[in-house]
């Protein structure tokens, strides 16, 4: 111990001071260098792109054909995409985006629907004991429902709605109060299953299911109210406004006249009125 104390006392204070000053100077030089290089090689952001991004819904659903809203905003700013390709963004926001881009946007008014009517009729694969939110449940094996497309019924859309127009009904799936809904799209962005969607304001019916299976046995093993993919709705439609895509009916609202024949003939009763 005595030898150690003698060694410490033998250290020249000026040596320590100069060492500290050298280290400080090196740190300052490297700090300035990093700042200069960071500024020089920084990726320049397109202000127009960032402004467009602020007015997109933020759903990141990929339905527009791009890998999320950031990529879509970039394509819009570069004139490579049409804002109407986004079904999650409200018409009012699309018009603002059009003004930013200097292009005319004919954005039709829409209304919100929930493409699921399973809820309590859909089988569970486990009992969820965690935080009561769809997005947190989705992290655990895709949610509690056996149906990978089904509404989880934990109300992420309800929490996101600023006017309390969304609710999880007694049947266990989300429903929309059309008298309250302002079609802001926050519920669209909040749903982890991407079941909350937009349809034209003039639409009379919508497909209240999102499963892509075909055949009663496989579908019924998941949900008692699931679409069977039978195609009867497409066959009976007098305007040929319905076609099956991946075993799921898709309505061409430009052709649909709202006769309701598809709704009355659907054996699973998963075509519903949206009026």
Task: List the domains of the chain with CATH numbers.
Answer: 47-101 (1.10.15.40), 110-273 (3.30.70.20)
Per residue in 216-234, pLDDT (tens digit) is 889 999 999 999 999 999 9
Helix (H, G, I), strand (E, B) or coil at 147: coil
State the pLDDT confidence band at 268, using cuts at 50, 70 and 90: very high
The least confident of 99-103, 117-121, 128-132, 151-155 is: 128-132
Model pLDDT, residue 43:
59
Is residue 120's pLDDT more than 90?
Answer: yes
Model pLDDT, residue 5:
45
Percent of the chain residues topping a pLDDT of 70: 91
Most confident of 8-12, 32-36, 189-193: 189-193
Per residue in 60-92, pLDDT (tens digit) is 877 788 888 999 999 999 888 888 888 778 888
**Pair 205, 262: CB distance under 8 Å:** yes
Token readout for 272 is 């519903």
Question: H or E stretch including 17?
Answer: helix 13-40
Q: For the whole model, what pTM was predicted? A: 0.69
**Pair 194, 59: CB distance under 8 Å:** yes
Strand partners, 113: 197
Per-residue pLDDT, averaged over 162-191, amounts to 91
What φ, ψ does residue 198 adopt, rounded to 5°?
-105, 140
Q: Which pairs from 131-139 meet CB under 8 Å and 24+ separation?
A: 133/159, 134/190, 134/191, 134/192, 134/193, 135/190, 135/192, 138/192, 138/193
Model pLDDT, residue 177:
95
């Amino acid at each position: 111990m005595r030898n150690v104390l003698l060694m410490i006392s033998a250290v020249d204070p000026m040596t320590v001071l100069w060492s500290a000053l050298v280290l400080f100077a090196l740190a300052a030089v490297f700090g300035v260098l990093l700042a200069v290089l960071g500024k020089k090689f920084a990726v320049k952001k397109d202000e127009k792109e960032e402004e467009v991004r602020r007015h997109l819904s933020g759903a990141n659903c990929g339905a527009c054909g791009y890998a999320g809203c950031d990529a879509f905003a970039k394509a819009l700013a570069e004139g490579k995409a049409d804002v109407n390709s986004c079904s999650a963004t409200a018409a009012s926001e699309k018009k603002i985006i059009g003004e930013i881009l200097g292009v005319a946007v004919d954005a039709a008014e829409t209304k919100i629907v929930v493409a699921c009517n399973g809820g309590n009729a859909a089988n569970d694969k486990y009992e969820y004991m965690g935080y009561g939110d769809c997005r947190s449940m989705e992290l655990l094996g895709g949610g509690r429902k056996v149906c990978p497309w089904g509404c989880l019924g934990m109300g992420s859309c309800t929490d996101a709605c600023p006017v309390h127009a969304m609710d999880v009904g007694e049947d266990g799936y989300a429903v929309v109060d059309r008298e309250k809904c302002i079609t802001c799209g926050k519920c669209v962005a909040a749903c982890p299953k991407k079941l909350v969607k937009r349809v034209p304001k003039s639409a009379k019916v919508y497909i209240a299911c999102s499963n892509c299976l075909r055949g009663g046995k496989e579908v019924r093993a998941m949900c008692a109210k699931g679409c069977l993919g039978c195609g009867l709705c497409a066959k009976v439609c007098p305007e040929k406004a319905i076609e099956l895509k991946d075993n799921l009916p898709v309505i061409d609202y430009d052709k649909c006249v709202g006769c309701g024949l598809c709704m009355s003939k659907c054996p699973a009763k998963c075509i519903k009125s949206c009026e």
